């Protein structure tokens, strides 16, 4: 925004110089005006990624000197007001009576939303009450009905633990158990793919909304960690998730939570140099104490894998100061810290 304002400032100086006859018409029309038009158009496109607006500004500014510039400045100044009105209209678009076709779309969308809310409520309840051991015990028994009932419940719980149990059930001696376990895994896969399709459709409709990319990126990441994907597809989903999160940051910088997700993805890809780069960027932003500890934990893990032991201790101490509840994190931090101290001596 600063560069756009600076270019406009110089343009105004040149216009004043022209009107005061300090600058000749030829110099203004054939040199100064095109140069400033190019600069302003370039910075507009770089800032807002709106090539059509940038080209329109350039054409009007060059072929209608001063008048074109003034009109485009008014357009840019009124842009935030237009976007506010447009966003408000999008929120209530289905409440406007525009005929049977629109009403049918409204009814369809509403059914999807209600169904999604109900499913999410059930999933949340299942997740909160989910315990892996009882299900493992069921599959160690010979009761077919119990196994089939467990499979049905596991298919509704989108957790990596439930997927792991279902995958183990594929080796059950009973054909029925194997069949329904496979069907349950397909059900989970279709459910996640359907959510991704909906998220992709939202991106097509509203490509400038950063939260749409966050939503799809999270779905790709969830699918990766659930464990139902083939190894070849898993890496593809991880890349897609990374792309969505990075693009969302470009649309709206300062989303500190995304740094955690991006760092996590780079760790999965074993790109430890990138982990360090993103971690340093993240720690420059405002983060909660817990998120800051997570970033430091990821950075410590990257340094450990890069054998930069002397850099580990400080991060691990910071992690332990927060009082992380997960024993694996505490134990890893202690181990890395001890390794860092030993290796740095």
DSSP states of 218-287 as a string?
Answer: HHHHHHHHHT-S-HHHHHHHHHHHHHHHHHHHHHSTT-HHHHHHHHHHHHHTT-HHHHHHHHHHHHTS--
pLDDT value for 81: 60
- 117 vs 27, 152, 223, CA distance in Å? 64, 20, 19
- Chain centroid to Cα 186, Å, comes to 25
Sign of CA dihedral 238, 244, 250, 254: negative
pLDDT in tens for each of the 345 residues of the chain? 566 666 677 777 777 777 777 788 778 777 877 787 787 777 767 766 667 777 777 777 777 777 767 776 776 666 666 555 544 433 333 333 444 444 444 454 545 454 454 545 444 444 444 466 677 777 778 888 888 888 888 888 778 888 888 888 888 888 988 999 899 999 989 999 999 999 999 999 999 999 999 999 999 999 998 888 888 788 899 999 999 999 999 999 888 889 889 998 998 888 999 999 998 888 888 877 878 888 888 888 888 888 887 777 777 776 666 555 444 455 555 555 565 545 544
Spell 325-334 as b/e; 16+ CB within 10 A means b. eeeebbebbe
Q: Which of 11, 13, 49 is nearest to 33 (CA)?
A: 11
Helix (H) or strand (E) holding 49: none
- Confirm if 71 and 60 have CB atoms less than 8 A apart: yes
pLDDT value for 322: 58
pLDDT value for 62: 76
pLDDT value for 127: 44
pLDDT value for 14: 76
| DSSP 8-state class, residue 155 | T
pLDDT value for 336: 54
pLDDT value for 129: 45
- Confirm if 67 and 57 have CB atoms less than 8 A apart: no
pLDDT value for 147: 86
What pTM was estimated for this model as a whole? 0.56
């Amino acid at each position: 925004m600063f560069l756009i304002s600076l270019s406009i400032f110089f343009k105004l100086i040149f216009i004043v110089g022209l009107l005061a006859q300090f600058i000749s018409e030829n110099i203004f029309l054939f040199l100064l005006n095109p140069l400033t038009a190019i600069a302003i158009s370039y910075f507009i496109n770089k800032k807002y990624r709106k090539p059509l607006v940038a080209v329109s500004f350039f054409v009007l500014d060059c072929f209608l000197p001063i008048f074109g510039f003034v009109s485009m400045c008014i357009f840019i100044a009124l842009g935030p007001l237009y976007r506010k009105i447009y966003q408000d209209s999008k929120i209530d678009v289905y409440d406007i009576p525009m005929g049977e076709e629109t009403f049918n779309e409204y009814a369809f969308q509403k059914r999807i939303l209600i169904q999604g809310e109900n499913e999410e409520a059930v999933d949340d309840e299942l997740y909160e009450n989910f315990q892996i051991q009882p299900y493992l015990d069921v599959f160690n028994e010979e009761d077919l009905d119990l196994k089939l009932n467990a499979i049905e419940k596991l298919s509704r719980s989108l957790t990596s633990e439930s997927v792991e149990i279902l995958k183990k059930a594929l080796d059950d001696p009973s054909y029925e158990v194997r069949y329904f376990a496979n069907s349950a895994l397909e059900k989970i896969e279709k459910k996640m793919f359907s959510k991704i399709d909906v998220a992709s459709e939202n991106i097509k409709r509203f490509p400038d909304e950063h939260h749409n990319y966050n939503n799809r990126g999270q779905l790709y990441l969830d699918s990766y960690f659930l464990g139902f994907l083939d190894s070849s597809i898993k890496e593809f989903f991880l890349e897609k998730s990374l792309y969505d999160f990075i693009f969302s940051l470009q649309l709206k910088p300062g989303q500190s939570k995304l740094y955690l997700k991006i760092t996590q993805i780079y760790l999965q890809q074993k790109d430890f140099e990138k982990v360090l780069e993103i971690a340093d960027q993240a720690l420059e932003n405002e983060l909660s104490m817990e998120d800051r500890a997570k970033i430091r934990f990821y950075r410590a893990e990257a340094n450990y894998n890069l054998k930069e032991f002397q850099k580990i201790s400080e991060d691990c101490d910071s992690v332990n100061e927060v009082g992380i509840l997960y024993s694996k994190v505490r134990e890893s931090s202690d181990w890395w810290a001890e390794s860092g101290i030993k290796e740095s001596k």
